[in-house]
Structures are given as C-alpha cells and as structure tokens.
Structure 1
Amino acid sequence: MPTPSTRPKGAKLFRNNRSQAVRIPVEFELPGDRVLIHREGDKLIIEPVKTPANVIELLAAGRQEPPLELDDWFPDIEDPPVRPEDVF
C-alpha cells in the first residue's frame, strides 16, 4: 500500500448509476473492499472495514457502533423453488 499523505489533494466526483462516487488518489488508497462512511458537519469520513477472520470477530463486530450488517458478510444464494417430482 502506498505511503499515506497528510496533504489535501483534489479528487474527481462522478456518477455511478444513481450514486455519487469519488475517485480516490493512489496515495489515499484504503485496504479491503468495504468502507464505513459518515458525515461530521460538512466533512465525509471514510474508514476501512476490517473483514472478520472468524465467527468470534464477526459477533464482536456486531457490537460496534455503528453495527455492521450481517448481510455484508454472507453471499447471496440462489434458491430456486421446489419442483414436484415423480417418485414412482
């Protein structure tokens, strides 16, 4: 990971479908693929989310403020409806 920078740098805002996104310069790159974002006045604070390594960490993460969503850690599973079968 690049060395963190403490000096402000401009970044580009763009649209991704109905969401606004920001292109983060390489020197501000965050680890992982998930972040928490919250507002403090006019500022947006973006923090990396550490993926739990096991069930104990997952349960402990659920007690944090703000709590993590369990749906974020479990993949969607395609579950087609049951079809009647002939058993004779």
Structure 2
Amino acid sequence: MSRNVLERVLWQLSVERAAKERFRADAGKFLARFDLSEEERQMVIEFDVSALQRLGVNPMLTMGFWQELSPTRDMALYKERLGASDEQRAAFSAALKG
C-alpha cells in the first residue's frame, strides 16, 4: 500500500489545475508516473473513496478529490459510496466511522 503516494496524487488532483486537466484527458497516463499498484490506480480512476479511506487515505483528500473531479460531484452519492446509512447521509462528514 502506498498511502502517502495516494494522498499526494489526490492532493494534486484537488488543487492543481494542470493535474486536473491531465487526469481528465487520460487518467491512466496521469497516474502512470506515480508508484501505485494497479489496484490503487483503479481506486482513483473509479473514484472508490471507500477503498481509499480503508487504506488510510485522509478523508478530506477523498472528499476534495470527489468534489473536484467525480463525474457527478454529488455529495449524497459520495456518502453512499462510503456506505452511509440514511441518518449519516443527512449529516455532514468527510468520513464514516463504524
């Protein structure tokens, strides 16, 4: 697991315009320059925020990444992807603790 690398990737994708543009143009090519496993690359490409958080990635980074680049940017869907209950979906949280 390369949590630190994943966090660096998500940070770049959340704040750097050029990184966002390269990711949108070709996510696989953008991610190829980072030392990530194929599974980790897929987590980013598929916006699998739940899996990223299970690996220990900072929840604020997963949320920022989602808000900046996910196809829908829908926070209800973000919470659903984290496995939120109806009650948890009604409240704000970048992470869900079980």
Which is richer in helix?
A: 2
Query: Relative CO higher for 1 or 2, CA cutoff 8 Å, sep ≥ 6?
Result: 2
TM-score, normalising length from structure 1? 0.24
Larger radius of gyration: 1
Which is richer in strand?
A: 1
